[in-house]
Chains A and B, each alone.
Chain A
Amino acid sequence: MLNFLIRRVSFMVISMIAISILSFVLIELPPGSAIEVKLQQLRQQGGDMTAEQVRGLEERYGIHDPIQVKYWKWISRAVKGDFGQSFQLDRPVKSLIWARLGFSVLLSSFALVFSWGLSIPLGVYSATHRYTLPDYVIQVLQFVGVAIPQFLLALLLLVLASRAFNQEVGTLFSQQFKNAPWSLPRLLDFLRHVWIPVVVLAVGGTAGLTRIMRANLLDVLGQQYVQTARSKGVAEHIVIWKHAVRNALHPLIMALGTTLPLLISGEVIISIVLNLPTTGPMYLQALLNKDMYLAVAFLLMLSLMLLIGNLLADILLAWVDPRVRLE
């Protein structure tokens, strides 16, 4: 197990380095630098920076240096948690991203739990009632669930929520709790708002996972040990839940590798639609404004989120299935 962990973690570190290079290059690609953009804005508003200030900034961020030097200047600070300055918002990046990342992780985890809680019973029902009307309904809903773009679902729920429930949308908190410290009423208020994004996020994942669950359970139900259990006279619900479902869960854990990127991508786009205080809106703004240190920090942190998620999934799988550990 220790060996397995060391292998996985070292791969993760290498991946992070590669991703940091990739994202840095990507965001460096378009011409012009963030400092120039900022300077232009300042001048339009009648302000200016002294030549020394500009030179100091250029030196700190290595504007005139070749890209590898620039990367080094950035990454050596980034590992210490200093991601540079957001030139658009005039604040250090690290003061901007953590709270938003926290909400992103929270939303994604809620959605994951929600979609697992929904897809296992649905998949089991679908598999045990194959070719019946509910099975067909579940299958058609799956296709719709996968086919509907998440931002659209967010929009539809938004319309529905404000029409039918008369709920204010596009926020995670009511006005009076927005800047309040955490307390029980604030938590309840949060839960009242968070269901829309969680439901939207969970739908895509649920559709995929239900499919996997159904297919695997069908495979397992065809195996001889299930037949043996049945012929011994074990009650059908025990055959299904104790004998079959347990063995059909592995692929669901393996599917985390594809579920997590979907969740994170989805979280980004729907929080833009719903204007939630998570990574999405700020990442998009940073990209559009060429606020590169902010954008690259987000891209990096989102990737890290995915890598950690995958690592947890691998550990979970190794824990459930000894064959993986010994591989």
Chain B
Amino acid sequence: MATVSTGLPLGGVAVQKEESAADQVSQWTLMRWRFMQNRLSVGALVVLILMYLTAAVAPFLSPNDYNELDTDHAFAAPTRIKLVHGWPSVCPLTQTLDPDHFKWVYEADCERAVPIRLFVHGAKHRLLGLIPTDVHLFGVVDVPPPAEAAPSASKTAAKDSVASLLAGLGGQNVAGAASAQAETKAEKPPRLFFFGADQQGRDLFSRVLEGSRVSLTIGIVGVIFSLIIGSLLGAFSGYMGGVVDNAIQRTIEIIRAVPTLPLWAAFAAALPRTTTVTQRYLLITIVLSLVGWTGLARELRGKVLAYRALDYIAAARLAGSSHLRIVLSHMLPNAASHIIVIATLAVPYSILGETSLSFLGLGMLPPAVSWGVLLRDTQQIQSVLIHPWMLLPAVPVILAVACFFLLGDGLRDAIDPYS
């Protein structure tokens, strides 16, 4: 852009310094330099790398098994960490039913606080999917339950009466019975719930970690599918022109004329509901990419149209290259940096798509765990008002999506180092 030299302070100094170096280093090095200048994007990249590493070793970082039910800690609030002798510790909780509000109340007994230990043994898992182990980075070492624990039979009875109470059958006598039975409740070894527990007493923190494996990868896999379809169709559309171009462009326009989420929902509703988790995962990525490829194809077409008139393409043609070869080995590599940027900016939409669909009950389905599946529990607004920590799975969604946008933004600025 020649219009930059209008005397406005547009950071012209920095640009000139780069131009002087431009003839000495490769284009990719220049892009890297330019990218590194953007602190916000570099920070976003670091956060994303950390998030993916976390997802890779999720079971190792989880203090609890993500599927372990524990009705004695249903809707337990995030555990308060207490310092005992200077060491972070967890207090055991006693569950009682508040007969006035029909909700569980927990009482911490910090006399018997248990320290959080590093490298404790817990549920078995495979580190990085390879090494079988039962070591977790941190956790609580169990203490033996006290001797005066109530026999389990009466405990189940208490559970039953509570269940009927919660089901709305409560009469006047039931409340009295529940408070009487609360006394006999057994004391359990303390549990560590960073993010609190859900309705079934499953550890939300471990579930968020486990969910990140689906939610973070589904974005990337979905975009890879869209990339394959989008870059091929986009490149050929721009390169061939004429009827092919027209047909592909009209198709894109029609797909884009349907609002995205309703279209995704219609696709997802058409999927069979009796699939395994892995099959469902693949089907959802395909659904996401069936709509997602259009954006990629459109932008790539623009790039290829610009390249088509360039001399090196004519030279390749004269040298006897086939159309396929020109597109695959001349045009696509040349557009590689643009493809990377477009793809990076497409990932957050995939993540949001999966989360939204799962939230609606059309995406991943339980027993699969993803951020959207976890957020589905927040649909009952009354429950969220009482247990606000149920909203915590939203934090990683926002973080991941914002970081991808920031990263893509930085990459886009860095992509044209000569400007």
Contact = CB atoms under 8 A, between A and B. Distances in A.
Interface of A: 11, 15, 18-19, 22-23, 26-27, 29-30, 143-144, 146-152, 155-156, 158-159, 162-163, 169-170, 221-224, 227, 261, 264-266, 268-269, 272-273, 283-284, 287-288, 290, 295, 298-299, 302-303, 305-307, 310
A146 B401 CA distance: 8
B355 A149 contact: yes
A211 B384 CA distance: 33
B38 to A, nearest CB: 12
Contact of A268 (B10, B262, B272): B262
Contacts of B3: 222-224
Given A155-B384, A170-B381, A27 B254 contact: no
Interface string B180-208: 00000000000000000000000000000
29 contacts: A23-B266, A26-B267, A27-B266, A27-B269, A30-B272, A143-B405, A143-B406, A144-B398, A147-B399, A147-B405, A149-B401, A152-B397, A155-B381, A155-B391, A159-B384, A159-B388, A222-B6, A266-B261, A268-B259, A269-B360, A283-B262, A284-B265, A284-B360, A284-B362, A287-B265, A295-B269, A299-B266, A305-B259, A310-B257
A299 B401 contact: no
Interface in B263-319: 263, 265-267, 269-272
Interface in B340-380: 348, 352, 355-356, 359-362, 375, 378-379
A152 B259 CA distance: 20
Contact of B385 (A162, A295, A302, A307): A162
B402 interface: yes
Contact of B348 (A18, A147, A288): A147
Contacts of A283: 262, 265
A227 B6 contact: yes
Contacts of A272: 360
B256 A261 contact: yes
Given A158-B381, A269-B360, A306-B258, 10 more contacts: A15-B253, A144-B398, A156-B391, A159-B391, A170-B381, A221-B8, A227-B7, A299-B258, A302-B262, A306-B257
Contacts of A163: 385
Nearest to B8: A222
A249 B267 CA distance: 36
Contacts of B402: 143-144, 146-147
B260 interface: yes
Contacts of A143: 402, 405-406
B405 to A, nearest CB: 6
Given A15-B257, A27-B270, A29-B270, A223 B355 contact: no
B258 A19 contact: yes
Contacts of B362: 284, 287-288
A19 B263 CA distance: 10
B257 A288 contact: no
B83 interface: no
A156 B381 CA distance: 10
A148 to B, nearest CB: 5
Contacts of A155: 378, 381, 384, 391
Given A149-B352, A152-B397, A222-B6, A303 B270 contact: no
A244 B258 CA distance: 35
A287 B263 contact: no
B128 interface: no
B394 interface: yes
Contact of B259 (A162, A223, A264): A264
B198 to A, nearest CB: 16
A303 B258 contact: yes
Closest 6 CB pairs of A and B: A265-B261, A147-B402, A287-B269, A147-B401, A29-B270, A264-B259
A146 B402 CA distance: 7
Interface string B375-419: 100110100110010010010011101100110000000000000
A158 B340 CA distance: 38
A222 B4 contact: yes
Contacts of B385: 159, 162-163
Most B Cβ at <10 Å: residue of A144, A287, A288, A299: A287
Interface on chain B toward A: helix, strand, loop, or mixed SS? helix
- Do most interface residues of chain A lie in helix, strand or loop, or is the interface mixed? helix
Contact of A224 (B6, B262, B359, B398): B6
A144 B258 CA distance: 26
Contacts of B261: 264-266, 268-269
B329 to A, nearest CB: 33
Nearest to B381: A158
Contacts of A307: 257
Nearest to A265: B261
Given A223-B3, A299-B258, A303-B258, A149 B356 contact: yes
B266 A223 contact: no
B68 to A, nearest CB: 27
Nearest to B359: A151
Nearest to A221: B8
A19 B254 CA distance: 7
A236 to B, nearest CB: 14
Contacts of A158: 381
B275 to A, nearest CB: 13
B280 to A, nearest CB: 15
B379 to A, nearest CB: 7
A149 B348 CA distance: 10
Nearest to B269: A287
Contacts of B381: 155, 158-159, 162, 169-170
Nearest to A131: B11
Contact of A18 (B254, B262, B271, B397): B254
B124 to A, nearest CB: 34
A163 B386 CA distance: 11
Nearest to B355: A149
Contacts of B258: 19, 22-23, 299, 302-303, 306
Which of B269, B271, B378, B394 neighbours the largest number of chain A CB atoms within 10 Å of its CB?
B269
Given A26-B270, A156-B391, A146 B405 contact: yes
B394 A299 contact: no
A287 B266 contact: yes
Given A147-B402, A169-B381, A303-B257, A298 B391 contact: no
A144 B395 CA distance: 11
B269 A30 contact: yes
A6 to B, nearest CB: 17
A155 B388 CA distance: 11
A151 B254 contact: no
